[in-house]
Amino acid sequence: MGDSAAPAAATLVLPIFPLPEVTLFPHTFLPLHIFEARYRAMVADALARDRRLAVARLEPGYESTYDGRPPVRAVAGAGEIVNWERQPAVACSTRSSVLARCSTACSARTNRPR
């Protein structure tokens, strides 16, 4: 009697970059301009680890919770940062430009602790 159960899929936890009106599809590239402190920290962490992140589209009505954990669509694009450039400082702010390449679609859940 063989085991007919499929092996459990591995869970990979990625930081989610939520954006309004943007979808990152597999095998596409997305240029991002990073200026908010929380996303600068997220990108720095991704660069220090494995360069991976997910880009998820914000759900309608996200504005009231944008500063916290805004709701995102159930499916996101998972990929990696393929290029990163620091931009000239503007008003004591460190900004950067990122080019992300999507490798696959993934499930986006925001219930993980920061």
Q: Which residues of the chain are modeled with pLDDT < 50?
A: 1, 111, 113-114
- In tens, the pLDDT along 30-49 reads 999 998 888 999 999 999 99
Q: What pLDDT sits at residue 111?
A: 46
Closest C-alpha to 22, from 62, 57, 72: 57
Q: What pLDDT sits at residue 91?
A: 60
Q: What pLDDT sits at residue 69?
A: 80
Domains and CATH numbers, the chain: 16-107 (2.30.130.40)
Rounded CA-CA distance 10/8 in Å is 6
pTM to 2 decimal places = 0.78
Closest C-alpha to 23, from 89, 87, 78: 78
**Residue 43: how many other CB atoms lie within 10 Å:** 21
Residue position matching structure tokens 């301009």: 33
Taken in order 41, 42, 43, 47, the sign of the CA dihedral is positive
Confirm if 95 and 84 have CB atoms less than 8 A apart.
no
